[in-house]
Amino acid sequence: MAEAHALTKKDFKSDQDVRWCPGCGDYAILNCVQGIMAAIGVPKHQICFVSGIGCSSRFPYYMNTFGFHSIHGRAPAFATGIKTANPALSVWMVTGDGDGLSIGGNHMAHILRRNVDVKILLFNNEIYGLTKGQYSPTSPQGLKTKTSPMGSVDRPMDPVSFALGCGATFVARTIDTHQKHMEQVLLAAANHKGAAFVEIYQNCVIFNDGAFDAFTEKSVRDDKTIDLRPGQPMVFGKNHDMGIKIDGWEPVICPAAEAQTWRSDTHSPGPAFVMSQMDSNPQLPRPIGIFRDVQGPVFDTQIHEQIQRARAAKGPGSLEKLIYSGETWTVK
Amino acid sequence: MTQSSARDAEMPLQHFESVVIRFAGDSGDGMQITGNQFTHTSAVIGNDLATFPDYPAEIRAPAGTRPGVSGFQVRFSSSDIHTPGDQPDVLVAMNPAALVVNIRDLKPGGIVVVNTGQFADSDLKKASLTSNPLADGTLSGFRVIEIDINKRVTEALKGTTLSSKEVQRCKNFYTLGLMYWLYHRPLETTIKWLEEKFAKRPELAEANKLAMQAGYNAGDIHELFQGRYEVLPCTSMPPGTYRNIMGNDALAMGLVAGAHLAGLQPFLGSYPITPASGILEALASYKNFGVITFQAEDEIAAICSALGAAYAGCLGFTTTSGPGIALKTEAMGLAVSVELPLVIVNVQRGGPSTGLPTKTEQADLLQAIFGRNGEAPIPVIAASTPADAFETAVEACRIAVQYMTPVILLSDGYIANGAEPWMLPRIEDLKPFPVKFVEPNPEGGFLPYARDAKLARPWAKPGTPGLEHRVGGLEKAHLTGNISYDPDNHEFMVRMRQNKVMGIRDSIPTPNVFGDSTGDVLVVGWGSTHGAITSAIEELRKKGRKVGSLHLRHVWPLPKDLDKIMACFRSVLVPEMNLGQMARVLRSEYPQQNIISYPKVQGQPFRTNELVKKIESLLEK
Ligand SMILES: Cc1ncc(C[n+]2csc(CCOP(=O)(O)OP(=O)(O)O)c2C)c(N)n1
Ligand code: SF4
Ligand SMILES: [Mg+2]
């Protein structure tokens, strides 16, 4: 069988030409995901990538796995159907900030609250890429685009806060240009049983170039981001000399020695939510890493358990049982 | 109760061929339960029957008002019948509102049983009445039986532990008992039902039994009626095993059976909506049959989950009504594009928009056939009676898997909630149509958009080695399924999908003509007009008219040779509960035929006599 040898990154490259703009952050994500697939050791015929519509949603075509490029915003529903139909599959969903949070916000909320065992990668470029540069629900206020020539007046939403609010059991954030970090986060997501939500900051070179430069540029990244590592002190900075602690209700910068230890498994998602809201304070570093990682009952597993229970209680169904049930009578 | 036998009604134990009773009361009065119980008992003793529940959209409209009236009409017969009857022989009215809303339908000389316990001035006011219909002549020409059911039930349940409110809730069983007495029916079926229904509250089972028994005894003791009536079992029903079935239940069972015959696990993605929710509810109870039900967050997610499940190798179903269909449209286009089997059920109701949620209509036909962006052909089939919904659902599954296509299955509110005896198919007569998934690692590679003789593409299940492939809504190249913007390929694929769907014609029979196969008028129907059309044709042929009818299960593509059949008649009449949508389709397909549309859009089914009159008017021309 083709899968007998250990799979490499190359095995996951499909024969289709990748059609993103040169320099698009999507390439780096594709590269990283192909590497992860080789690492997690699931045979490629057991993997299915599902997406909606957008530049990001072209992703499945470039993976040599099963794939479904569906319709705008609805990928969570397709993924739920696929995973529930066949829980043995490893199901990955790729979406954008528009696809996943605007037209598909409703479905995103529900796949997360149901805890369907699907790995969700939301490529956030704070813009509608495929339709050529309109503002999105994550665009900052004031962003000038073709549909907001005087600046967008919409208040943006934070994808991590949203996912936490929906009761997601795994929530993380990473950056397209930070391959090593992305790798760690995606591996953790892959190992999570249940819905795993990963926001990936992704640069759109054409319509929103440099949207994240203020904290992702290599020269400032260590000082301007903090990596949330469960069980580790919240230390950041080039020299590992700064820390974060929650002072009263607010996160504040403190000397590294006073940094609080990060916990992603608290009973309440409250602490994770507080960290996710650091985005709106430019004084604070941007948190990346693992916000939340807890176990919860898994939707697709439970559905099949109920079927097993019903079969045990009533016996498996047959056509005879189906039709010749209830009160019947005979005409001779 | 035919005209000739009405005169004999003075005598004890009269036989009637067929009787129509309408139970009417407040939505809180339990009229649907009463009607269903009467139906069930009649089914079990072997009558042919048809029912027509008619209830308000509000769960509890203000008590005692006209909008709050809920009705259940049942016709039971010793001969073959096809409709719940045009006019009730008996009206049971639990309050003034129920009386005034329904009295105009009662047959002249018919019996009206009135609960006088609910006729205080305040009750009349709630029904917007300025005078008492019991005294103002409204009921002249009818045989009025006045009973204070409120009081009788209170007496009957004296000594029970029930509160007076709970006692009054047993009124409907008193009424049921009375009707059981009048029509000579056994109480056992209902007693059994009560014991099961109230297994956890035996005092309620007991009270309802007492109330029913009291109603039954009242017939004897109080000499309310001059005699009792009997409708013997129907002997003209073909031999076989029967059960009483509602349309939604039959449809749900048909979907399960269809998946079984295809050898697939069924997956239903659905979102509750009247009058389709019953199918989701029924399928949710079939878990031991392996049915996966997913109550999605909306209709879009419902169809998308079902299509996802179809990609993964399940037989996908989604069930809804008009407004839900509107939401599913984009995903239906995707189903056409990815060519996966999917059954989309539309239990039609009055539209547009929210329209008349609890009433029936057939106005989604053109939407079903044509209502998508792009060239997006989908086959459409329609159930014609509650029992027929089973077979039609099986047929929808067959077409879906054999042609790798979404299929729209139309039902409507009249079928969904109506009931009739169903002659159960013999298991060996249900022909399997097993699905063959693509085998692992096919020699020479896998082409997801190759075609078989039916033009269907192969179904490759994720999880199968060597078949990794991508599908989506972008145009695909012939054979490989890779994204293609090539102009010639696009036209080729558009025509391919169209030809595939039109090719379904080759696998469907031309329906038989009922009645005369040549003559003056051919009535062409589809969906739930079947009963009324069949009855009308029977009646006219008894009068020696040369008429026939043709009922379409496959409404798109249409079966072959319809033009040859139509050509044998002077004119073709198409009655439908819309403004003439099927007539429009037939005219465009068969421009040389003389097609006359007969629309009715009142949220109510056709009556037999309306059709008889219409056909007679054509015969006179
Ligand atoms: C129903 C529907 N509405 C609108 C569109 C047009 N459309 C396609 S992608 C898109 C936005 C994509 O933005 P995002 O999800 O952020 O993806 P990106 O291209 O930025 O990766 C829109 C509006 C569509 N394809 N379908
Ligand atoms: S438009 Fe932006 S997001 Fe889309 S491919 Fe180009 S760079 Fe990437
Ligand atoms: Mg975007």
Coil, strand or helix: which one is B248? helix
Return the closest-CA partner of residue B24 out of B1, B65, B51, B54.
Answer: B54
Q: Which overall architecture, per CATH, does domain A9-211+298-303 show?
A: 3-Layer(aba) Sandwich (3.40)
Query: Does residue A4 register a pLDDT over 70?
Result: no
Chain mean pLDDT for chain A: 96
Tell me, what's the pLDDT at A38? 93
Encoded amino acid at B108, one letter: P
If contacts are CB pairs under 8 Å, which of residues 267-306 in chain B contact chain A?
A: 267, 269, 286-292, 294, 296-298, 300-302, 304-306
Task: Find tokens 């985005």 and name the residue.
Answer: A279
Taking only the tens place, the pLDDT of each residue in A99-118 is: 999 999 999 999 999 999 99
* Domain span(s) for CATH 3.40.50.920 in chain B: 513-620
Write down the domain spans for chain A: 9-211+298-303
Cβ A170 under 6 angstroms from ligand 2? no
* Interface residue B188 vs chain A (CB under 8 A): no
How is residue B412 written in tokens? Answer: 């409507």
Return the closest-CA partner of residue A122 out of A109, A131, A134.
Answer: A109
| Mean pLDDT on B200-218 | 95
- The residues placing their C-beta within 5 Å of ligand 3, an ion, are A 96-97, 125, 129
How does residue B220 score in pLDDT terms, banded at 50, 70 and 90?
Answer: confident
CATH code, B513-620: 3.40.50.920
How is residue A125 written in tokens? Answer: 């470029």
* CA distances (Å), origin A302, targets A80, A84, A166, B178: 13, 10, 19, 48
Residue to test with chain A: of B37, B232, B311, B428, most A Cβ within 10 A: B311
Whose CA is closest to atom 5 on ligand 2?
A: A20
The Å distance, Cα A128 to ligand 3 centre, comes to 4
The Å distance, Cα A130 to ligand 2 centre, comes to 7
Query: How many angstroms separate the CA atoms of A52 and A54, rounded?
Result: 7
Q: Which ligand has the nearest atom to the CA of A24?
A: 2
Q: Which overall architecture, per CATH, does domain B243-427 show?
A: 3-Layer(aba) Sandwich (3.40)
Return the closest-CA partner of residue B315 out of B268, B275, B347.
Answer: B268
- B307 contacts in chain A (CB < 8 Å): 70, 78, 81
Encoded amino acid at B68, one letter: G
Cβ separation of B298 and A106 shorter than 8 Å? yes
Do residues B307 and B283 touch, judged by C-beta distance below 8 A? no
Do residues B254 and B394 touch, judged by C-beta distance below 8 A? yes
Cβ separation of A2 and B465 shorter than 8 Å? yes
* Interface residue B477 vs chain A (CB under 8 A): no
Q: Which overall architecture, per CATH, does domain B3-230 show?
A: 3-Layer(aba) Sandwich (3.40)
Taking only the tens place, the pLDDT of each residue in B322-378 is: 999 999 999 999 999 999 999 999 999 999 999 999 999 999 999 999 999 999 999
Taking only the tens place, the pLDDT of each residue in B291-318 is: 999 999 999 999 999 999 999 999 999 9
Return the closest-CA partner of residue B396 out of B458, B362, B327, B346.
Answer: B346
Do residues A125 and A209 touch, judged by C-beta distance below 8 A? no
Taking only the tens place, the pLDDT of each residue in B529-576 is: 999 999 999 999 999 999 999 999 999 999 999 999 999 999 999 999
Tell me, what's the pLDDT at B9? 39
Cβ A130 under 6 angstroms from ligand 1? yes
| Mean pLDDT on B247-261 | 98
Query: Does residue A18 register a pLDDT over 60?
Result: yes
* CA distances (Å), origin B535, targets A256, B51, B236: 88, 15, 15
Do residues B419 and B49 touch, judged by C-beta distance below 8 A? yes
Tell me, what's the pLDDT at B3? 34
Query: Does residue B27 register a pLDDT over 60?
Result: yes
Phi (first) and psi of residue A324, to 5 degrees: -90, 55
Cβ A69 under 6 angstroms from ligand 1? no
Share of chain B above pLDDT 70, in %: 98
Do residues B273 and B320 touch, judged by C-beta distance below 8 A? yes
Taking only the tens place, the pLDDT of each residue in A69-110 is: 999 999 999 999 999 999 999 999 999 999 999 999 999 999
Taking only the tens place, the pLDDT of each residue in A124-152 is: 999 999 999 999 999 999 999 999 999 99
Query: How many angstroms separate the CA atoms of A57 and A68, rounded?
Result: 10
Burial A126-148 (b: 16+ CB within 10 A, else e): bbbbbeebbbbbbbbeebebeeb
* Domain span(s) for CATH 3.40.50.970 in chain B: 243-427
Query: Does residue A280 register a pLDDT over 90?
Result: no
Q: Does ipTM surpass 0.85 in this model?
A: yes
Query: How many angstroms separate the CA atoms of B100 and B117, rounded?
Result: 16
Query: Does residue B411 register a pLDDT over 90?
Result: yes
How is residue B506 written in tokens? Answer: 């080759």
Task: Select the residue of A50, A82, A331 nearest B46 (Cβ to Cβ).
Answer: A331
Return the closest-CA partner of residue B379 out of B505, B529, B276, B550.
Answer: B505
Query: Does residue B222 register a pLDDT over 50?
Result: yes
Task: Output DSSP code: residue B157.
Answer: T
Residue of B nearest to A113 (CA): B297
